[in-house]
Structure formats: structure tokens, C-alpha cells
Chains A and B, each alone.
Chain A
Amino acid sequence: MNFPTFDIPERALELTALCLRFNPANYTTWWFRRQCLASLSTPPTSDFESKYTYFSENFIANDLMLASKLGGSNPKNYQVWYHRRNLLEQSFSDMTSDSDTECGSVLELVNEELEYIAGVLDKDSKNYHAWSHRQWILKIINMESKWTAEIEYINDLLEADVRNNSAWNQRWLVSHRGSKSKPFPVEAASEEVNFVISKAREDPYNESPWRYFVALIKEQFRLIASSPEFVSLVDTCENALKEVKEKFELESKKDGMECTHLIAAHIDILEMKGDEDSLSSAVEFAILLESRYDPVRKKYWKLRAQQLQVVAN
């Protein structure tokens, strides 16, 4: 759609910056600003075609700075994050190489942007917008080196806070290279289980690693359900889980059943195993959670126990 551009877009541009200082959430102002930037930008060739709006390099740099300034006190403003994305879409979607040397200045831009996001996450490690933007970058550039580096970044975050659910989610995304159609091969799943268990050990009450743990196993279940590899994986997982519980009981002198997320994960595993003994253990655990250990969710665990009982019969 062709919109009228003004006679003096530079002046209009200045005005938008002023208006945005008053209200950085005014999406019409942002959009109008982008119209001005686009009308002042000259694409590299006369027949340049792109599905994204073209902005010249200096405008991109300048407006990223503007967005950073406005974003500072408004880290959860959708329009500011969207502006960043709009500015970068053209450059990032052009990256087809995985070679660091070939990508040049765009790679620099990528690194700067990832650093910017890391800065925002430093202030609030669970800022949903920041994570969405980060995921968008990793997916659109799709560079193996960046995926690998991201695991390191996630590990650092988990060192700082093993309960950071956003970091756990990012780990899932990165391990799957941003796509649900790239599940863990079973050997990799085993290795990943080791990592997860090591983290779960730090605080067995922590929900996040146990959810991740169950998701790993369920993914394999969906792929290779009754294969010997799966049976072996599940046994390994169950033993690892039991070990965490025992170690916890030994060290804390507390009842491992208190770690309700650990027990919930165990119930899920037993359900997947599906044999009579496993199912009746699962029912027992659910009843214990209901009657004693997870009072807030007692109605839920009662239902779960009933459902498991039906399967067992």
C-alpha cells in the first residue's frame, strides 16, 4: 500500500522522535516514523526487491539507539521491540552463510543485538519480550555457531539461577535448533538427561528441570515407544530420579516425597512404562501427594490417581 510521504520527511522524522518520547506506545507514530525512514532510504540497486522494508545502514544504527533509549525505562513495550525487529528484518534475512568471515557487518549487527538483549536480561532474566526477540534472531539467522554459543549463555544463566524457567525453555528451543521437527536423537537425549539431573540435584524442589526431564522422555516415547532404546532410557531416567531423591533424603534428613515435582515426574515415567507394577506405584504416589504431600493440589491428585487406576485395570 502506498502511503503519502511528506514533503519534508526529515522534519516529520524529528517530530516522531519527539512524540515517541511522550508516548512510546503509540504504534501509529512508530509506523509513520518507519514510513519516513523508508522514504529517505535508497535501496542498493534500482531493482532491489524484498519482502521487508529497506532502511539504510545509518538509519538502522540510529534508530536502534533510539529504541534502546526508549526501551530502557519501558522494557516491556511491544512497539519498541517490534521497531527493532522491523529495522533488522532486511539485513538478517539476507544472511545465508554460516561462515563468520563471510557475514561481515551484518554479523557485527547480530552480535551487538544479542549483546543488547543480554543486557536487558541482565536486569530481568525473565523478560518475555527480550526472549521472544532473541529467539527471533537465532531462528532467522540460523547459524550453527550462534546456536552453540547460546547453550553456553543458557548455562551461565542457569548457574546464576537454576530456577530460571525462561532459560530452561530457551535450552529446549536451542537444542531443537528452533524447530519442533528436530527432536533429540536418543543418544543425545541420554546426555541431556545427565545435564538435567545434575541441575535437579541442586534443588530437587525446583519445578523447571523436572518438567524438562519429563518433556525429554515424552519426546522419545512419541518417537520410539516400545523400542529397547526407549526401555533402556526410561530405566536410566527412573534410576537417576530415585538417586536424586535418596541423596536429598540423606543430606537433608527430610522426606523426599516433599519434592512434589520430582514425584510428579516419577508418576509420569511410571505411566509411560505402563506395566501393572509401575501403574500401581504411580497410583500410590498420587494418593500420597493427595493425602499428605501436596495439599494445595489434593483434588487434582485424587483425579490423577483415579485416572491411573482406570488404566491399571
Chain B
Amino acid sequence: HLDTNRLTLLHFAVHSLDILGFFDNDSNLEYYGVNKQYIIDWIYSLQTYHSKNRALRIEKSRNRNDVENNESSDSQYHGHGCGGFKGGTFLGFTQNINMTESESFHQYEGFKHYDQGHIAMTYTALCTLIALGDNLEKVDKPSIIQALKTLQLQDGSFQSTYPGSENDMRFLYCACAISFILNDWSGVDADKAVEYIRACRSFDGAFALIPGQEGHGGSTFCAVASLVLMDRIDSELNNGDVCGSSWRDELIQWCVSRQVEGMQGRPNKSEDTCYSYWIGGTLHLLGCDHLLDKEALDQFILSCQTDMGGFSKLKNGSIYPDLLHSFYSLAWLSLSNSNVDDDTSIS
């Protein structure tokens, strides 16, 4: 069921290992048989064909020591909103950077209209490439920026993929993160994006996934992180209510109120380790994570480690660990800067 999201799983795994310092030590890589370049190549093989073709040409022109201008031949490939990365090899086949241009073009014909990037996969691809030390040279930046333009809707939100999908705060955040990483904001109408974020403010001061919906830890992080990336956090959150309490104050109170021992994602819901990152991360972005009871939170998270290693979402022996909760637990713990005994308490 996670075929379309394999890149996300890779993202969780690579970043978790990175946080644990795994990649800093070459003997780790050797012992576990991890080949960074192999992973990087796999990620690049998921770039949509249109983009990959450019990557192939960049590679070739570098080898020939000249720069070819292939802008005109791009037009033979449909280039609408399809730039970016797919989440897995579920579509077509894994393209190998070594395949000849004619080989890959011939096979591409059969599925080219369905070869679409997915905004969240593009985001995780870029993050993971950076974590692995890649310089993003083979990334087809113009295609991705073009895709963002196509994916943004009238209300400022983003869909995930060109043929159409649901639109919500998650993809708005992906768009902002991508633009930030590629240092190119021409694909995002920031004013409209900010309007959407405003529209998503819930009655209790947090942010929902879509306008009118319940305030939620995940969407709150996406909204706040997007504002930070767009450099609009202060102008938006410091809007006062005249009574002295600003949006920022309400948001902070909502966030700290999510702490039971661990963090819950919404009022009256159970604690879940991943919200330590979504909510803790939000507060961190606002410079307020010191307001949490970090000791209690970190203790809770550590107690969610399982006998198999990794973290599960709850403190309960019968729940299995998973990549998502392991990553977000580690991500928060690394932000937390609390006195965790190095590696001994993280098994």
C-alpha cells in the first residue's frame, strides 16, 4: 500500500540515521552495506522523465565538456505540471542514468502522460538528497518550479500532482519547502498562500488542514513552517486583537495545551509521539519550545521505544514501531536539546 510513498519511507529512514550520526562514520556504511551513491541514483531515477531527460543531457554534456542548449527539443515532451519526483517505481520502470537516450525514450512513450511528479515526493527527494550530500545538480529545477505554478489553486492552496488531487496545508508546506531549498519562489504566489493559511485558522487558535476544519498538530506545523519559510511569520502572527492577545499568543497557548505527558494532536485525543515534532517543532519555530515540560515529553517519547528498536506512536508493549514515528521522535529529541544520555537511552 505504500508503493507510491516509498520515497517518503526512505526520507524517514535516511534522516533518522542522519540524526543518529550514522552517516558520519564510513565504517558504519561499510558494515551495513549502505552505499550513499546507490541511494542517490535511486532517488534520481524517480525524477519524472521530462526532468530526467535533462539530467541525462547535463550528464552527457559534462562528459563532453561542452554545454548543449536543448531547450528546443524539450518541446517534444509534454512539460505542463509534471516536473518533480515520483514516490516509487510503481509507474513505468526504474530509469537508470546509464540507459541510452533512445532506449529510455522508446519505453517512455507508453506511459509518458502518467509520468507526473508528486509535490510531497519532490519535497522528500530534495531533503533526502541533501542529507546524503548530493549537490542537487541533476535536479530539473525549472520543471519543478513550473509544476508548483500549475499546482497552486485560486485559493492559494496546492494540489499534489498535475492531473488533480485533494488540496490542503500539507502541499502548501511542500511547495514552500521546495522553493526554499531550490532558492526560487517564482512558483509560489506567496500572498495567496498566506491568505489560505489565514483561512485555515481554527476557532481555537490553531491551524486546520483546510478552511473550517479542526485545528490539528500536523497542519499547524505546516502552516507555521510555511510562514517562516516565506518570511511572513511576524507580519501574520503579530496581528493583535487590540485586547493584547495576538494570534501568536493564542497559537502558543493551544500548542502548550497539547501536552498531557506526551503530545496530543488535537484536544481530547490521545498522545502520539509524532506530535512531539509537529507541535514541539511549531513552538521551536516560534522560539517557545522551552515552555513545554521537556523532561516529561522526552521521557514519554523514550518510553515509546520498542524491544525491536525504533519508536511506536504510543507507550504500549503491543504496538509495533514504524519509520514515521521513529523519525519524528528522533527529530524532536534532536531539537529538544534536553539532557538525554547520548546513545545509551536510544537503543
The stretch from B16-24, B94-102, B160-168 touching chain A is B160-168
Indicate if the CB atoms of A221 and B243 lie closer than 8 Å. yes
- Residue of A23, A26, A215 touching B203 (CB-CB under 8 A): A215
| A131 pairs with B214, CB closer than 8 A | yes
State whether A169 touches B243 (Cβ < 8 A): no
Report B217 CB to chain A, min CB distance, Å: 11
A165 contact from B118, B165, B269, Cβ within 8 A: B269
Residues of chain B within 8 A (CB-CB) of A128 are 209, 213-214, 216
Q: 0/1 per residue, B251-291, Cβ < 8 Å to A?
A: 01100110111000011110000000000000000000011
Judged by a CB distance under 8 angstroms, whether A104 is at the interface is: no
A298 partner residues in chain B, CB cutoff 8 A? 293
Interface contact B259-A296, CB-CB below 8 Å: yes
Contacting A31 at CB < 8 Å: which of B164, B216, B257?
A: B164
Separation of A34 and B118 alpha carbons in the complex (Å): 18
Task: Please count the residue pairs between chain A and chain B whose beta carbons lie under 8 angstroms apart in the complex.
Answer: 133
Task: Decide: B257 and A207 in contact? CB cutoff 8 A.
Answer: yes
Q: Which of B62-78 contact A (CB under 8 A)?
A: none
Bound CA span A24–B253, Å: 39
Residues of chain B with a CB closer than 8 A to A135's CB: 210, 212-213
Contacts of A221 in B (CB 8 A): 241-243
Count, chain A residues at interface, CB 8 A: 60
**B165–A27 touching, CB < 8 Å:** yes
B4 close to A (CB within 8 Å): yes
Q: Is the CB of A166 within 8 A of B214?
A: yes
Tell me the minimal C-beta distance from A168 to chain B in angstroms.
8
- Partner-contacting stretch, out of A9-17, A148-156, A299-307: A299-307
**For the complex, is A44 an interface residue (Cβ under 8 Å from B)?**
no
Nearest chain B residue, comparing its CB with the CB of A86: B164
A172 close to B (CB within 8 Å) = yes
A128 and B202 alpha carbons, distance in the complex (Å): 14
Whose C-beta in chain A lies nearest to the C-beta of B256? A300
Within B202-251, the residues touching A (CB, 8 Å) are 202-205, 209-216, 241-245, 249
Question: Does B308 interact with chain A (Cβ within 8 Å)?
Answer: no
B214 adjacent to A28 (CB under 8 Å): no
CB of A202, distance to nearest CB on chain B (Å): 13
Find out whether the CB atom of B114 lies under 8 angstroms from the CB atom of A212: no
> Which residue of A26, A132, A166, A264 contacts B90 across the interface (Cβ within 8 Å)?
A26
- How many Å lie between the Cα of A65 and that of B267 in the bound state? 33
Q: Which residues of A contact B329 (CB under 8 A)?
A: none
List residues of chain B with CB within 8 A of the CB of A296.
Answer: 259-261, 293, 296
Q: A82-B166, A221-B241 are in contact. List 10 more A-B contacts (CB 8 A).
A: A4-B113, A23-B90, A28-B114, A31-B114, A74-B1, A131-B214, A165-B214, A180-B211, A215-B204, A271-B243
Instruction: Give chain A's interface residues, CB within 8 Å of chain B.
Output: 1, 3-4, 23-28, 31-32, 74, 78-79, 81-82, 85-86, 126, 128, 131-132, 135, 139, 163-166, 169, 172-173, 178, 180, 206-208, 211-212, 214-215, 218, 221-222, 225, 261, 264, 268, 271-272, 274, 295-300, 303-304, 307, 311
Closest 4 CB pairs of A and B: A211-B204, A169-B214, A215-B203, A163-B268
Could you list which residues of chain B lie within 8 angstroms of chain A, going by C-beta atoms? Answer: 1-5, 80, 90-91, 113-114, 116, 118, 160-161, 163-166, 199, 202-205, 209-216, 241-245, 249, 252-253, 256-257, 259-261, 266-269, 290-293, 296
